[in-house]
Amino acid sequence: MDVKKIREDFPIFRKMINGKRIVYLDSTATTQKPYQVIEKIKEFYENYNANVHRGIYSLSEYSTELYEKSRENVAGFINAHPEEIVFVRNTTEGLNLLSYSFLWNFLKPGDKILISMMEHHSNFIPWVRLKHFNIDVDFINITEEGYLDLEDLKNKLDKRTKIVSLSHVSNVLGTINDVNEISKIVHDNNSIFVVDGAQSVPHTPVDVKKIDCDFIAFSGHKMLGPMGIGVLYGKYDILKEMAPFLSGGEMIKEVHINNIIYEDPPLKFEAGTPNVEGSLGLSAAIDYLKNIGMENVRDHEKRLTDYAFKKMDEFDDIVIYGPKNVEKRGGVISFNFNNGNRYIEKELIKNDIFVHPHDVAGILDSENIMVRSGHHCAEPLMDFYRIPATTRASFYIYNDEEDVDILMDGIKKVRKVMKIG
């Protein structure tokens, strides 16, 4: 993969701050956008802007055609049918759609939902809130190395368990959960399997038919696309039975004072004017990724992670969270300065972090190295490791070994400024 050439497609990487280029290592939060995506949005507003599924004039019909073509492209990307693709704002909205809709006609008091200790708040709060309606929520344990404890999943699955909702790839630990295996376990129990694909669909080939998940949610902005467009895939038979989430225009066939007939999926779940520009931008992002090949994206990130791990070995006071095996993790590296304790031993962790991640990120920023620090919207996971925060570097197609080397120099600067070692 020619990273230098890829970087040329991203206008933001022409930007210099204090005479130095940007080293962007926060793609887990959001990715940068290539001009192909930016231009597509501009092209839409300059040439085709009209509301969709409404007008019968040609511009509106063409705009509708473009919107539905984007849906087809998204569907093809994850091996789904277009009518199984619901456009939402982001992963968060996709998961909220499910929790609200299930509450309407799938769930009853006493039912149980299983999530895990490694979930992003977006796959945590929408389910935990259902406790208010006397729906139980239980949490699958993880191991110290950051793997999901499948035995615990099996033990906690029971007749009351209606839904299991898990991240495919952890945004903190990088752990790749074995969703194929989990799907079988969950379906053997006749439960619904929801996948939070926010950190998998952008980084690795995802085939919903192979996984056999019932739902997967992901965000366009984490895969080179614009903000404000996301996707909820759902098996059509289930979508058909579900109640709408938002209601209003676009999602109905007929409305009378005493009778409302909803549209079929996916339009039933797309009330109001949708994000047409976003769908086109996402489709352009998918074309860009397809051109590189998702296998190549995954291999590239694996190689960079491996390279970074080897480099970080140099520092014996850094602890890295999550699996050490790069085959089982994505390109997300969360770490702390940990007083010489390279391995996570719960009792040691709490008191031994001696540089706050915000200080680390601040010092790195002085070198234009952009990493995330904080709890990464995964506070239950921070509680599990008894830490307040981590520093997180994450990789994508526009990062290379040179970026890792610059990060390592940045870490040396952190050590110097903070007088470590």
Catalytic residues, which ones?
A: 377
Q: Decide if residue 26 touches ligand PLP (CB under 6 A).
A: no
The one segment of 35-43, 51-59, 115-123, 365-373 that binds ligand PLP by CB under 6 A: 115-123
* Residue 224 C-beta: closest distance to ligand PLP, Å: 13
Give yes or no for a cis peptide into 266 (omega within 30° of 0): yes
Q: Which of 96, 116, 123, 334 binds ligand PLP (CB under 6 A)?
A: 123
Q: Decide if residue 99 touches ligand PLP (CB under 6 A).
A: no
The one segment of 37-45, 46-54, 89-97, 138-146 that binds ligand PLP by CB under 6 A: 89-97
Write each residue from 139 to 178 as x if it is in contact with ligand PLP (CB under 6 A), else as -, in one continuous string. ----------------------------x---x-------
Chain residues 188-217 in contact with ligand PLP, contact rule CB under 6 A:
196, 198-199
Q: Decide if residue 63 touches ligand PLP (CB under 6 A).
A: no
Closest to ligand PLP by CB, 33 or 120: 120
* Residue 397 C-beta: closest distance to ligand PLP, Å: 17
Write each residue from 267 to 306 as x if it is in contact with ligand PLP (CB under 6 A), else as -, in one continuous string. ----------------------------------------
Q: Decide if residue 334 touches ligand PLP (CB under 6 A).
A: no
Binding site for ligand PLP (CB under 6 A): 28-29, 90-92, 120, 122-123, 167, 171, 196, 198-199, 219
